[in-house]
Chains A and B, each alone.
Chain A
Amino acid sequence: MTDDLTLAARLDTLTPKQREVVILVAEGLTSKEIGRKLGITESAVNQRIEVVRQRLGGISRAAIARIYRQTNTLMITIPTSNSLTGKPIQLQAIAATEQPLPAEGVGGFAASDDEANGELQPSTFPPSFHGPDARLVRFAAIVVIALGLLGIGVLTIVASHTMGLVLAPAGR
């Protein structure tokens, strides 16, 4: 619960655009549905979700939805129960009222096949690969990797020639 509260606090640091995606995720919409609703592409939705996941420590999409719902519950419940009863608030009681989540996510939260296969996995990319200049960064990464591979290949060839070990030519 403490961890969830920490993560819930991090939700406040999200931008308005990220927040509106999180709200729709918490409502159980798929990326396609969110994209249609916000007038953006599914890929853009996934990128925003990815950034949110990064900010929250790489947690799953279902966990984001759960934490957002918890945060909402806290925001509504705390002032009401406090004003009515004046008793200290029992955060664990709130947690106990939550419905347990199925392993694959929240009910109606069924991710598409594509997402189930890949998008919900922890990202191996640093945040800059998901930011506004993501395409540029990724293209630069491809170029750098290509140059690196080319360099390795050339070095291998030079080394093999130097050592007199010429690799067998291809069949063509």
Chain B
Amino acid sequence: MTLQSATLLLALLVALLSLFPIAGWTERICAAAMLLPLALGLNDLEPVSASLGFEPSLLLRATMELACLLGLLHAAFASDRWFPLVMSAAALIGVVARALAFSGLGGAQLPLLQMSALPLLVMAIALGGGIATQAVARSLSNASA
């Protein structure tokens, strides 16, 4: 199993977790911001976009990526959790890395671009960790109530 496929599976699993009642709006915004770029082929993870036979234009990619980033930043500045901050930071790295590649600033030579699953992996871990922490906090508060 490659890093990319493992990341894809983890991201899908965490996104599913965010649909459970334990998750709040912050988790859902972050899951959407994590999955939308994936579904539209904005990341370098081919399986989803290839299976959909969808090849979005560069403009659509950039627009959706910006929208997702804004969603994440909103969550990072409005919520009281850590994971939107971590996800925003990871997304920023991904956006900058891809922008460098698109603008031909020598980004294609950056080894980081060969691992563009990494920002998504960090996002999935942050979101998954956040949901797990919230689950533990809730069960502890329920137990003490």
| A interface with B by C-beta (< 8 Å) | 43, 46, 50, 103, 113-114, 117-119, 121-125, 129-130, 134-135, 138, 141-143, 145-146, 148-150, 153-154, 157, 161, 167-172
Contacts and interface: CB of A to CB of B under 8 A. Distances in A.
B25 A117 contact: yes
Contacts of A117: 23-25
Contacts of B76: 138, 142
B73 to A, nearest CB: 8
B111 A161 contact: yes
Count class of interface residues, chain B: 35 or more
A139 B65 CA distance: 19
Interface string B110-128: 0111111111001000000
B82 A124 contact: yes
Interface of B: 2-4, 23-26, 44-46, 50, 76-82, 85-86, 88-90, 92-93, 111-119, 122, 133-134, 137-138, 141, 145
A44 to B, nearest CB: 11
A169 B116 CA distance: 9
A170 B118 contact: no
A170 to B, nearest CB: 3
Contact of A170 (B92, B114, B141): B114
Contacts of B89: 142-143, 145-146, 148-149
A157 B88 contact: no
A134 B85 CA distance: 13
Given A142-B85, A171-B44, A172-B44, A122 B114 contact: no
Chain A's interface: helix, strand, loop or mixed, by majority? Answer: helix
Which of B46, B89, B133 has the most chain A CB atoms closer than 10 A to its own CB? Answer: B89
A154 B115 CA distance: 11
Given A121-B137, A161-B111, A170 B77 contact: no
8 nearest CB pairs, A to B: A118-B24, A117-B24, A170-B44, A171-B46, A146-B89, A145-B89, A123-B80, A169-B114
A132 to B, nearest CB: 14
17 contacts: A46-B78, A50-B80, A114-B24, A118-B79, A118-B80, A125-B82, A129-B80, A141-B85, A142-B89, A149-B90, A157-B112, A167-B3, A167-B115, A168-B4, A170-B4, A171-B4, A171-B45
